[in-house]
Amino acid sequence: MSTKGLHRFTLEKFSMCTEVESEKHILNDSFTVGGHRWALVVFPVFPLPHTDRRKKAMAPKQPNSGLFVGLKKGHVVTPKELAPRPSDRKGKTSKRVHFARSLIREVAGFAPYEKRITELLKVGKDKRALKVAKRKLGTHKRAKKKREEMAGALRKMRAAGGGEKKK
């Protein structure tokens, strides 16, 4: 098959990673050397998405072959179905907590720094709003989230007709 990009080569008894230039002609093949049957398997290495660079690009895991050596080594078993764990839902806001937070927001309103951020967003100073949020909240990630939250609140106010238009 004709390829574009990098490919990973694995042999059933030994593993060897090699990068191949694009436009080379590569075939999946099997052959015998020294009385042992070998298989050449070609896996494309896909580029990393820009969202998560911490994970390495790897070929998909192949099922175990029953051999005790090689990339697909190991006893062949059927995977056990596991029940979902409570830690799997970590960070997800429950309905009750979401309701309580929205009620408090409705009664108490915005904090002074949040009001300043919305004023900056109204006049189109997104970068300055981010700087204010970062100074108050401590991290860039939290500041971006707060800026988006305030922009969403501003959009809701404008949609409801609460925001006044200035010329």
Stretch 158-164: mean pLDDT, rounded? Answer: 76
156 domain residue, yes or no: yes
125 domain residue, yes or no: yes
Cβ atoms within 10 Å, residue 146: 20
* pTM score, whole prediction: 0.48
75 domain residue, yes or no: no
Express each pLDDT in 101-137 by its tens digit.
Answer: 999 999 999 999 999 999 999 999 999 999 999 999 9
98 domain residue, yes or no: yes
8 in Cβ contact with 45 (< 8 Å): yes
Express each pLDDT in 9-37 by its tens digit.
Answer: 444 444 444 555 544 555 556 667 777 77
Q: Is the pLDDT of residue 161 over 70?
A: yes
Q: Which residues span the domain enclosing 23?
A: 7-44
CA distance 144 to 124: 15
113 domain residue, yes or no: yes
Q: Which pLDDT does position 47 carry in this prediction? A: 53
Which tokens sit at 54?
Answer: 């911490």
Report helix angle 112-122 to 140-160, nearest 10. 70
11 domain residue, yes or no: yes
Which tokens sit at 53?
Answer: 């660079």
DSSP string, 47-80: PPPSS--SSPP-PPPPPP-S-SSSTT-S---PPP
86 domain residue, yes or no: no
* Total number of domains constituting the chain: 2
Q: For 85, which DSSP code?
A: P
**Mean pLDDT for the chain overall:** 78
CATH of the domain at 129: 1.10.10.1760
DSSP string, 2-31: B--S-EEEEESSSB------TT-B---EEE
153 domain residue, yes or no: yes
